Amino acid sequence: MPTLYPLKFRPIYKDKIWGGQRLKTLLNHDFSPLPNCGEAWLISGIEENNSIVSNGFLADNELNELVEVYMDELMGESVFERYENEFPLLLKLLDANDWLSIQVHPNDEIAKARGLSGGKTEMWYIIHAEAGSELIAGFKKKISRFELQQLIHQKRISEVLNYETVKAGDVFYMPAGRIHSLGPGIVLAEIQQSSDTTYRIYDWDRVDDNGQSRQLHLDEAIDAIDFNLYTDYKTKYTIIPNRTTHLVQSPYFTTNLLYLNHAIEKDYGYIDSFVILLAVDGEVGISDKTVNYSLRTGEAMLLPAITEKVIFTTATPSASILETFIDLD
């Protein structure tokens, strides 16, 4: 069987009632003929939205087909043992030209009790933010289930939510159960469990082109919400140039940041997992000593688990790249 290599995929574009044009104007994604693009799915194993390889001899194959064929060579032994033939993560770009609904995602326990494949824990990395742009993450005051239900009914839910003004480089970990929303003017990368289950709580009373409101899921959402109050919702980190900066470590994925201003070599041989690379600023060159690749801001690549040493170079004065893998140790 031919040897695996770093894989690129064709993005899957989705127009949204809140979507904009920045994935095209800022990141050069051509989502025509869609009128706007709220989401670009860069790497997905979700049924009916399965990513298709765009480079090399495996071009035109679906991601989950490759998982079935290459198994632990692609996924890693421990990852394949746990998830079998389903790719466990979903990587998206989001562009918000208006507020997303106030929403929440279920955890694994709730999702499986409702006949779903799994929950949805995610993280956000802000790639671009217009001045004053905000998002919602969690609560700003302690509130009971009954009090929240009353505020939802009165359309006053925003009074108890935690608003954060954001800038490029900000990171937010959004575990399942955390109420959240994304405001206009923000482009971000979203790394998440392989699930597209969202419970809308409030959708700002808007309607679509046909005058229809989007469905809300209040009963499902209330049972899924984490009502705990937290001190911090934004991830704190300090960049060390040309070294690995840890951002998020969860049971579902680990994500690090590499800020580069010169060439470095990284050894991924010790990781029993695939590695997703996503350029979030500048342009980076990637070589596995056989083939040279490049990633511009908003482009992603999947390194198979058999990948060992990789050389990163910068095609711009500096570049930033996210690396994501699954650590089951």
DSSP 293-326: EEEETT-EEEE-TT--EEEEEESSS-EEEEEEE-
User: What token pair was written down for 135?
Assistant: 């998002």
User: What token pair was written down for 57?
Assistant: 């001899």
User: What token pair was written down for 2?
Assistant: 């031919």
- The residue ranking higher by pLDDT, 117 or 64, is 64
CATH number for the domain spanning 313: value is 2.60.120.10
Decide if 239 is inside a domain.
no
DSSP annotation string for 176-225: TT--EEE-TTEEEEEEEES----EEEE-TT---TTSPPPPP-HHHHHHH-
Residues 6+ apart with CB under 8 A from 138: 161, 162, 178, 179, 180, 226, 229, 230, 233
Residues in a beta bridge with 294: 285
Q: pLDDT tens, 80-107?
A: 999 999 999 999 999 999 999 999 999 9
Q: Average per-residue pLDDT in the chain?
A: 95
Residue 248, classed as helix, strand or coil, is: strand
Decide if 6 is inside a domain.
no
Predicted confidence (pLDDT) at residue 120 exceeds the cutoff of 70: yes
Which of 170, 189, 224 terminates a domain? The answer is 224
Catalytic hit among 114, 200, 206, 296:
200
User: Which of these, 97, 115, 93, lies nearest to 106 by C-alpha position?
Assistant: 115
82 given a catalytic annotation: no
Predicted confidence (pLDDT) at residue 1 exceeds the cutoff of 70: no
∠ Cα 190 196 201 (to 5°) = 95
Decide if 231 is inside a domain.
no
Which of 158, 193, 224 terminates a domain? The answer is 224
**What is the per-residue pLDDT for 3?**
85
Instruction: Please state, in angstroms and as integers, the Cα–Cα distance from residue 182 to each residue in 107, 200, 260, following that order.
Output: 20, 13, 29
DSSP secondary-structure letter at 146?
Answer: H
Examine the domain organization and report whether 56 and 142 are in the same domain.
yes
Q: pLDDT tens, 208-257?
A: 778 888 889 999 999 999 999 999 999 999 999 999 999 999 999 999 99
Residue 123 lies in domain: 12-224
Q: pLDDT tens, 38-68?
A: 999 999 999 899 999 999 999 999 999 999 9
Examine the domain organization and report whether 36 and 102 are in the same domain.
yes
Q: Measure CA 99 to chain center.
A: 18
Examine the domain organization and report whether 320 and 274 are in the same domain.
yes
**What is the per-residue pLDDT for 101?**
96
Predicted confidence (pLDDT) at residue 18 exceeds the cutoff of 70: yes
Decide if 233 is inside a domain.
no
Decide if 75 is inside a domain.
yes
Examine the domain organization and report whether 103 and 177 are in the same domain.
yes
Decide if 7 is inside a domain.
no
**What is the per-residue pLDDT for 131?**
97
Q: pLDDT tens, 255-305?
A: 999 999 999 999 999 999 999 999 999 999 999 877 899 999 999 999 999
Residues in a beta bridge with 245: 257
Examine the domain organization and report whether 210 and 308 are in the same domain.
no
Examine the domain organization and report whether 199 and 272 are in the same domain.
no
Examine the domain organization and report whether 170 and 38 are in the same domain.
yes
The answer to whether residues 248 and 254 touch, using CB atoms and an 8 Å cutoff, is yes
Decide if 230 is inside a domain.
no
Q: pLDDT tens, 131-142?
A: 999 999 999 999
User: What token pair was written down for 96?
Assistant: 């918000």
Instruction: Please state, in angstroms and as integers, the Cα–Cα distance from residue 187 to each residue in 134, 183, 284, following that order.
Output: 11, 10, 20
Decide if 2 is inside a domain.
no
Rounded-to-integer distance, Cα 189 and Cα 285, Å: 20
Examine the domain organization and report whether 79 and 214 are in the same domain.
yes
DSSP annotation string for 1-41: -PPP--B-B--EEE--TTBBSHHHHTT----TTSS-BSEEE
- Compute and round to an integer the Cα radius of gyration of the chain: 20
DSSP secondary-structure letter at 232?
Answer: -
Examine the domain organization and report whether 61 and 173 are in the same domain.
yes
Residues 6+ apart with CB under 8 A from 104: 177, 178, 179, 180, 198, 199, 201, 221, 224, 225
Which of 173, 189, 224 terminates a domain? The answer is 224
Examine the domain organization and report whether 73 and 196 are in the same domain.
yes
**What is the per-residue pLDDT for 290?**
77
**Residue range 28-44: mean pLDDT, rounded:** 97
Examine the domain organization and report whether 34 and 182 are in the same domain.
yes
User: What is the count of structural domains for the chain?
Assistant: 2
Beta-strand pair 171-174/45-46: unpaired
**Residue range 176-193: mean pLDDT, rounded:** 98
Query: What is the reported pTM?
Result: 0.96
Confidence of residue 314 (pLDDT cuts 50, 70, 90): very high
